[in-house]
Structure 1
């Protein structure tokens, strides 16, 4: 008997070992249907009767939705449904599929893509009829390893089969677990390899088991209409370069929780936040291992509270956004919130001093509690418990720091209206924790130089001798412990969990101390003595003082964040050690190639973690040769093309002046952070900096940085230390080379090349 395209596909899947519900292909002619059913479906009560016309689901045509199919069919009604299927062929030849019906817990369709490692999964709770019919459903985009790139969770009409009939229920929760997404992604890639072309696959989960209901070639790619905008903006200052899966998924979780908490504290109902949870779950995106803001969802977030236009502009200013896009509004604040919001904000302003003090004291208290743990001896369950404490007792309070950021941007916006750009530079200097770190390093270094055996260990970078020798000098030991307590979580790439801290690699600290012996006592930049003092009226002075208060506090909060992430890093490294000991992973550091969900929820796929990690290592290694754009738009979720930076030609380049003064000197280009053996340069050139660059910045006489703004950490430190700085020099890393002699004008933002080295 000749069978149709759909039945042929199911036979191939079954032969290849995929879990396909029992089925037969029936031509509609045999009078022995009852006997056939008895012999093939003993004990089965309900069936799916599907079309399988000749040519259906071929590579050229799918006829999807054109022929009749039925689900939940009782045995006695099968002949009637067969007639309906055959009638829908309208003269075409074909057979009918009679298949065991699955009253599943979740189901849907997924699509593989040509020349892409991405899988698009549409899913719902219950039967997938609602998905096939185009109703609202959850959407996931995953890579071939199951790493979730993006997800949208919607309120949906779930269809459940109970007692012989379908019952429709409104559901808002997620329809898939991350384990199920991983399993679907793996199966989708296998099915595509089996057929050799991209596939449209219908699937279902019943009692935890994955069943493949049908698979057909994709004859037309899914249409994705909304243009999405991505901008690395200032997130690249915190997460520069390639970021591994654990760091990205952890950051994704933190952003989602913090901004939901912020809006809840701003009067937005919890139910409304849950309805739009996909916005918060997708505030970030990753392409080629680099992190971006999903600008669409940041703009959507600004719609929840009154003053959308102002909120949007404040956000763009806060992140130094390259994109100023407009998207259609879909969310509006309630009438009640519109009325009470001004009073709520007023109350927040009046009580923020109390709020911020409580936040700082509670975070410090919790950090002290976590520090008492000996992470080297924690079990997996104890690590998870400690992580829950970090999440619930620390990160769930972090919305307070976002409120502080809004105060900073509000007062900065007022100052910009009152003062010129040059005047802004002259008044924005304020004391911060960063320069306290510089002073502490200089003090430690100078004291160590007076102890020959200790200083010799520093110069040689001998950690073992240093650790032994410092025990003999209680005063220096105590000062070092104070430094580690305050600044132990501060180092370059401090928010990237895969980065090793100075407490894990003491050689980093010794390298810094070695250079600081000649630093001497820091002389703070005093702009008002170097330049003619600005005469500010009472109103301007009040606003300036408010700005400095919140900006200084912003730097304090950043340091608390560094130390909080340090605790999380210790926990994950410990879990990595446990997984390596139990032969789940090959090494401790492999933990950073897993996602947060994969670590927190050990599951049936744990035996595959080794191969999963190796696969991701190969993938991330390939990213190192790709230079993606800093911002882009896409309407098909495809990664952007690699780009070359826009080049300024001639002898001069320019950017935004953020710390005034002039310096002529030799440059050194830092493609990543490291402490050189000696300071043989005057001007530091790099793409991004984070707070961990402070020790190196303090040893420089000038800064040229490709990305950032007036409130970037480098700008703040440079103003305080009197280091001329120009930021936003788009092609500095390609235009300038090690050894070039340049004149850096931090007042006007001009860089003049006086001598090119070896060109």
Structure 2
């Protein structure tokens, strides 16, 4: 419990700080005079003792609010002030400089009175009010909140020439991120200090200070100098007018800004990583993301310095919350800001990703002439890359297929354990070095889809927007479905509808193997390495094939949309072409993951043979780094069996974790303090986002895990998520409702191409609907009406 605060000299911390500023920065500090209370107030010792006694009684609880107010009012009324020097300035500020404020432990910020723009005739009354504020209710209430038992009363009044700036604000020399942070507002009155709306700006302390800022760079230099002088972070109150700068106050930052906030969103990524994802998959994908995005920005022409400055962003694009994969969403907005046209790209990114909440990027310094030239060059380069995107994509397709074939031909079981991991690193180099092209195409999707949704149609024409997205030219997205339907027809013609008969026929098995060679990596939850591929169990793929109908796999005709704005035909065509390529690249990505799974299973078998783990699948409970350490001899904890057992126990709880689409953490270690940040539905009604037009009334089938034997023919499939592999069931279903997804999710693309109504982002659908229930769903509005 605190007892008293007296860290400043007799004139108070505020006056002392001004004197230090004046001695160091001279004319940058507007002229001022200091009037000590001991010289200003008649019979000061008696006044001081009376005030301290009254405050001590209030802090101890012996004096209630009403009694305190009455006695404090009487004490203020009885103040007798000595001569106050005539002001030599046309307007002044009158500030209270108290002993208690601006201390290392407690700031009393804003509790003592300051009177701004005071005319000479009003100075005596402003001085009296400053003295009375020493024992105001605001001050003693603050002291009580800090559990103080007494206050030392003393200090001075500072009368300072008023500097009428056109911009005023507060600067914090350290915001906890190795950055200087400024908050400022327009006008002579510092409304920033008063807590009103203000603009903000952050500047890194680790790089050269920028020259193009809303304030003079000299102010930032002064902040660093004062921080060094005080030996701790400081905040500086300042004002500026044109090229003139005025320093008005300096004080130590009482509370270090050590708490931090993080936000995670799984709106889009949950389609690829539903439910719990095991450690190996997460460490694998985190490594991929941290490599491919710097390569993309190099392709874009971003400087190596900027890429290095954003290394923490690339390393932290993902989050792992109770075994669930999320985007660390703010870092995605930071990456988008590296792309020319940042303000538009932010909204286009939100339109594509559909996060639970849109990002709110901070104000950034204007680039200046040199920065503007660099941005213009980046913009030109981006434009050229966009015009050549199709050609680049075709080259990627050819080169990727050639390189993948080399690795597919390897027999992992014939390689040593160390050679397996060395080869995996080469795969990353050979295949992922190409991945800047798919990301460029993602940017192409983002830009053209953003234009299509906002410029061409807008929210009032949502149905037309969805209809216009239908009709992909290449239809790579439905190629596996059409091939599966064809396989099913051929198998039925040869062997009927019995899975056992198909598997007993070498000719039929050869047909199945032919399908798997082309599409075997299209598997439910295909980006989670721990999930078996369909080709590992022929029963599953045969069951799916026999349940298909070729007519259900045929694409629906795109409806005509009239009353189009200028440029819609071009924008729509480019959007659909980019989506086509995106679907191809998604399958290429699945092929890389299938390759990695084969390698890790072989490594797991090697670890079992050497009695390191009990089962080959145990490798999926370990991270890439742990496997590397075990194989190459870097581990100080070699008991991988115990690690696997411990994690299996931990992940049992993760299976039942109820995490929202958006999670936030705040504190000294932010991820330790998680909470949901998704607003509840105002109506409480079940609804989602319509992504594939059509109204359908039918029986729902609620599914929580993929099962190839599920009979969804003529029913509405309801599930928490649908990734590309799940869509193999689409050739049976009549409609689909999912809890995750957006208009560019795989489920939405497939549903539109097949003419099947679809609603995504229907939070709570699997809990609120039951199999056999009849519902009416609207694939345009997202409405879901249960009977």
Q: Give the TM-score range, shorter chain.
A: 0.5 to 0.7
Contact 1:491/1:692 (8 A) holds in 2 = yes
Tell me the equivalent position of 2:541.
509
1:244 aligns with 2:278: yes
Q: Are the structure 2 counterparts of residues 393 and 510 from structure 1 closer, same or farther at C-alpha, using a change threshold of 3 Å? A: same
1:402 aligns with 2:439: yes
Matches of 1:483 and 1:359, distance apart in 2: 23
Residues 214-225 of structure 1: pairs in structure 2 closer than 5 A: 224-225=258-259
Matches of 1:495 and 1:287, distance apart in 2: 18
Residue among 451, 454, 463 paired with 2:494: 451
Tell me the equivalent position of 1:442.
485
Residue among 576, 579, 584 paired with 1:556: 584
Matches of 1:414 and 1:274, distance apart in 2: 31
Tell me the equivalent position of 2:642.
611
TM-score calculated relative to the size of structure 1: 0.65
Tell me the equivalent position of 2:470.
429
Residue among 222, 236, 261 paired with 2:295: 261
Contact 1:671/1:686 (8 A) holds in 2 = yes
**Comparing 734-743 and 333-342, the one that deviates more:** 333-342
1:740 aligns with 2:776: no
Cα shift readout 1:450-485 (whole Å, capped 9, x = no counterpart): 333x853x157xxxx82xx443x2xx5554344212
Q: Are the structure 2 counterparts of residues 290 and 135 from structure 1 closer, same or farther at C-alpha, using a change threshold of 3 Å? A: closer
Q: Are the structure 2 counterparts of residues 725 and 521 from structure 1 closer, same or farther at C-alpha, using a change threshold of 3 Å? A: closer
Tell me the equivalent position of 2:758.
725
Contact 2:323/2:651 (8 A) holds in 1 = yes
Q: Secondary structure at the match of 1:409?
A: helix
1:628 aligns with 2:659: yes
Contact 1:233/1:320 (8 A) holds in 2 = yes
Tell me the equivalent position of 1:669.
702
Tell me the equivalent position of 1:691.
724
Contact 2:664/2:676 (8 A) holds in 1 = no
Residues 196-211 of structure 1: pairs in structure 2 closer than 5 A: none
Tell me the equivalent position of 1:292.
326
Matches of 1:489 and 1:510, distance apart in 2: 15
Matches of 1:550 and 1:449, distance apart in 2: 36
Tell me the equivalent position of 2:317.
283
Tell me the equivalent position of 2:122.
none
Q: Are the structure 2 counterparts of residues 470 and 642 from structure 1 closer, same or farther at C-alpha, using a change threshold of 3 Å? A: farther
Q: Secondary structure at the match of 1:392?
A: helix
Pairwise CA distance, 1:634: 1.7
1:496 aligns with 2:528: yes
Matches of 1:679 and 1:350, distance apart in 2: 43
Q: Are the structure 2 counterparts of residues 470 and 337 from structure 1 closer, same or farther at C-alpha, using a change threshold of 3 Å? A: farther
TM-score calculated relative to the size of structure 2: 0.63
**Comparing 279-288 and 633-642, the one that deviates more:** 633-642
Matches of 1:250 and 1:672, distance apart in 2: 23
Matches of 1:398 and 1:314, distance apart in 2: 22
Contact 1:658/1:709 (8 A) holds in 2 = yes
Contact 1:380/1:575 (8 A) holds in 2 = yes
Q: Are the structure 2 counterparts of residues 398 and 632 from structure 1 closer, same or farther at C-alpha, using a change threshold of 3 Å? A: same
Matches of 1:677 and 1:425, distance apart in 2: 29
1:228 aligns with 2:229: no
Larger Rg: 2
Tell me the equivalent position of 1:311.
345
Q: Secondary structure at the match of 1:634?
A: strand
Matches of 1:700 and 1:242, distance apart in 2: 26
1:700 aligns with 2:733: yes
Tell me the equivalent position of 1:547.
575
Pairwise CA distance, 1:744: 1.7
Pairwise CA distance, 1:332: 8.1
Matches of 2:398 and 2:319, distance apart in 1: 33
Contact 2:696/2:757 (8 A) holds in 1 = yes
Q: Are the structure 2 counterparts of residues 607 and 332 from structure 1 closer, same or farther at C-alpha, using a change threshold of 3 Å? A: farther
Contact 2:690/2:781 (8 A) holds in 1 = yes
Tell me the equivalent position of 1:217.
none
Matches of 2:714 and 2:575, distance apart in 1: 34
Cα shift readout 1:581-607 (whole Å, capped 9, x = no counterpart): 111212111101111112223323352
Tell me the equivalent position of 1:534.
562
Structure 2 residues not aligned, in runs of 5+: 1-175, 180-204, 208-254
Q: Secondary structure at the match of 1:525?
A: coil
Residue among 505, 522, 536 paired with 2:553: 522
Matches of 1:382 and 1:327, distance apart in 2: 45
Matches of 2:536 and 2:480, distance apart in 1: 19
Contact 1:661/1:747 (8 A) holds in 2 = yes
Q: Secondary structure at the match of 1:605?
A: coil
Matches of 1:553 and 1:539, distance apart in 2: 21
Matches of 1:664 and 1:727, distance apart in 2: 17
Pairwise CA distance, 1:225: 2.6
Tell me the equivalent position of 2:456.
418
Contact 2:719/2:766 (8 A) holds in 1 = yes
Q: Secondary structure at the match of 2:433?
A: helix
Residue among 374, 379, 399 paired with 1:337: 374
**Comparing 247-256 and 264-273, the one that deviates more:** 264-273
Q: Are the structure 2 counterparts of residues 617 and 295 from structure 1 closer, same or farther at C-alpha, using a change threshold of 3 Å? A: same
Tell me the equivalent position of 1:372.
409
Matches of 1:239 and 1:555, distance apart in 2: 17
Q: Are the structure 2 counterparts of residues 649 and 339 from structure 1 closer, same or farther at C-alpha, using a change threshold of 3 Å? A: closer
Contact 1:378/1:574 (8 A) holds in 2 = no
Residue among 745, 749, 752 paired with 2:785: 752
Matches of 1:242 and 1:622, distance apart in 2: 10
Matches of 1:353 and 1:486, distance apart in 2: 23
Tell me the equivalent position of 1:485.
517
Matches of 1:330 and 1:591, distance apart in 2: 44
Residues 111-190 of structure 1: pairs in structure 2 closer than 5 A: none
Supply the RMSD in Å over aligned alpha carbons. 3.1
Contact 1:708/1:727 (8 A) holds in 2 = yes
Matches of 1:244 and 1:223, distance apart in 2: 35
Tell me the equivalent position of 2:96.
none
Matches of 1:604 and 1:695, distance apart in 2: 42
